[in-house]
Amino acid sequence: MKLIKELDAVQKGKLHGVPDVPVLCSDNNAALIVAKNPEHHKKAKHIDIKHSKVRDEYEAGNIHLARVATKDNAADIFTKALDKGAHERAVAMLGLSLAKDKGYSGRSTK
């Protein structure tokens, strides 16, 4: 129930520090260009129709699009294999901690 109230507050712009319009961040320059500029769409007809939804929402002012540097993209942890350093940075960006920080060795106790 708390989540529903928080989501309702976000939609009504009542949460301090939360932007009224969500910002969709991407480290893919081409995706941002196609989403922001419909003229490029003609050259990218092969792109899945789901991406046109992003463009439609951007043009309607329902979302903002922003570039995020690859090294600062915490979502990479969910989409690709990362080296140890990148994995640890993404974990920290998400406000999580590594199991080894909690004393977990990775070995079964059975």
Mapped onto helix, strand or coil, the DSSP state of residue 40 is: helix
For 15-51, write each residue's pLDDT tens digit: 666 667 888 888 888 888 878 876 655 666 666 665 6
Query: Which region, left, alpha or beta, applies to residue 17 given φ > 0 means left and ψ of -120 to 50 means alpha?
Result: left
Query: Does residue 109 carry a pLDDT above 60?
Result: no
Residue 67's pLDDT is 93
| Average per-residue pLDDT for the chain | 77
Query: Does residue 14 carry a pLDDT above 90?
Result: no
Beta partners for 26? 67
How far apart are alpha carbons 40 and 54 in whole angstroms?
14
Residue 81's pLDDT is 92
How far apart are alpha carbons 80 and 74 in whole angstroms?
11
pLDDT category at 83 given cuts 50, 70, 90 is very high
- What's the CA angle centered on 94, arms 9 and 60, to 5 degrees? 45
More confident residue, 8 or 61: 61
Residue 16's pLDDT is 63
How far apart are alpha carbons 32 and 98 in whole angstroms?
32
For 65-81, write each residue's pLDDT tens digit: 999 998 888 888 998 89
